[in-house]
Amino acid sequence: MKLISKIGIMGSLLLFVASCDFLEVETVGRTTMPNFFSDVPGLKAGLSGSYSKMYSYYSSEFYKYPEVAGNMVDLNVVSADVEMIDQYNFTSDPQQEVGAVGYIWRKILEALANVNNVLEYAPPLKDAYPNQKAEIERVQAQALFLRALCHFDLYRTYAQPYNYTADASHPGVPVLLVTPGPDDLPSRATAKQVFDQIIKDLQEAEGLFGDRPMQDAYHVSKEAVWALLGRVYLYKGDWDNAILYATKAMEAVPLARGDDYLAMYHGLTAGKEAIFRLNGTLKSKSLGIFFSSGKPMVHAADTLMSLYTDPEDIRLQLFATDDNNEQKITTKYRIKTDYTPEQERYDPFILRVSEMYLNRAEAYLKKGDAPRAAGDLKALLARALDKDVAEVRIDYANNGELLHLIKRERAKELCFEGHNFFDIVRMNDHLVRGEGTGSNVAFLPYPNDLFVLPIPQSELNANTNMQGNPTVNN
């Protein structure tokens, strides 16, 4: 492990990707990588490993962090040894290696290493196996999407929002297009450079997919590319493109209604409105224990439950009471009892079409098109209340009130799915928690140094080119 201590997490990616633990094979070194990726089955196995690495961070701290740091959940027990307590109280320690700070950084970079190896070895295979060119390009397209998502997720966690500076010149995260070697000391790119690369990867993926139909929601598709582009452009503040790509995804994937809507959380199918979802083949219980067990680590805050003003809202059926009948908890990670424990799994949503309606509504409103924004909001409310769109009425006196309604619906629709705090930050909102919060922090104004996690201290120690985040790294 001398290499790790010398060059930090970045350099240690060589070790992580080489292990290929998803295949149950003996550990291999960098020198054997060309052999491993010497044919199309090896390339596809590498892609499978990338999906597994994505699952490992989405099924744990990365999915929990934006909920705990936000204002829609409370921790049930507030003590020094409780999971995510530092993120709840905004006291994250740069030295934290096994907790959120080090875990999210490390796991995303592990996924990036896998993806970059797939992308490095794919082009020569198209010459070696010309009859399998289409299949190789499909692998490339998926890998490009995953690389874009890794950079986007790393950015959201460790960098201030795109509009933090007028020209997006503030520090983003490292842009890693190859696995760093022992002598490589990557630095942080600007926010603009990071977003430019994310968009470039997604546009290239879109081209490689061509007219290929969506396989299923557990594999990246052209529809997933459109959905992520729509989200990325929303975070960037490019309203026209946010509308364009959200619309493409919405036209391709329908909203789920009624029992189909509930089943995508309580069953073992991807769900009719899923665009991209990670398959819980590793059967991690982390999300279920944290959010949906009888004695979960968190419960819904009053700030969330107060938003559900209509008792007929189908989303209320995704809540239950804890074992003490005291707190409301989500059942989004609770499989129905007609499955055996061996069958159960928890599949985090990455992209689903409901989010696209909310993204487009926000983008329409930012462009001054309130009627279209309200129309998208009505479509979601119609589904929630089992009504026709024509029956839904939305009352607002101005654009500010309509934006408030969009934020309410985002909180209700996307709760416990890894959005809340990221939404607060990208919208340049203050963090305002309810009076019943158990956190030491009830309010944080925007902008704020605490709105990002610190860069892990181990990385700063090993990489002299790596810049820490103000305040949280001091």
CATH of the domain at 34: 1.25.40.390
DSSP assigned state of 212: P
Q: Which has the closest alpha carbon to 68: 415, 435, 468? A: 415
Least confident span in 19-23, 107-111, 390-394, 466-470: 19-23
Q: Which domain holds residue 151?
A: 2-273+350-462
How many Cβ atoms are within 10 Å of 471's Cβ, its own excluded? 11
Tallying the residues shown for the chain, one arrives at 474
Backbone angles phi, psi at 121, to 5 degrees: -95, -5
With respect to residue 342, please indicate whether it lies within any of the assigned structural domains. Answer: no
Statement: residue 10 has pLDDT above 60? no
With respect to residue 93, please indicate whether it lies within any of the assigned structural domains. Answer: yes
Q: Helix, strand or coil for residue 161?
A: coil
Angle at 429 between CA 424 and CA 431, to 5 degrees: 70
With respect to residue 297, please indicate whether it lies within any of the assigned structural domains. Answer: no
Under 8 Å between Cβ of 300 and 433: no
pLDDT digits 0-9 by tens, 242-290: 999 999 999 999 999 999 999 999 998 999 999 999 998 777 889 999 9
With respect to residue 470, please indicate whether it lies within any of the assigned structural domains. Answer: no
pLDDT digits 0-9 by tens, 278-333: 998 777 889 999 999 999 999 999 999 999 999 999 999 999 998 888 899 999 99
Under 8 Å between Cβ of 32 and 25: no
With respect to residue 318, please indicate whether it lies within any of the assigned structural domains. Answer: no
pLDDT at res. 343: 79
pLDDT at res. 143: 98
d(CA 87, CA 459): 20
Number of domains observed in the structure of the chain? 1
Phi-psi region of 255 (alpha: psi -120 to 50; beta: other; left: phi over 0): beta
With respect to residue 287, please indicate whether it lies within any of the assigned structural domains. Answer: no
pLDDT digits 0-9 by tens, 35-45: 889 999 999 99
Q: What is the pTM of this model?
A: 0.94
With respect to residue 354, please indicate whether it lies within any of the assigned structural domains. Answer: yes
Percentage of the chain exceeding pLDDT 90: 83
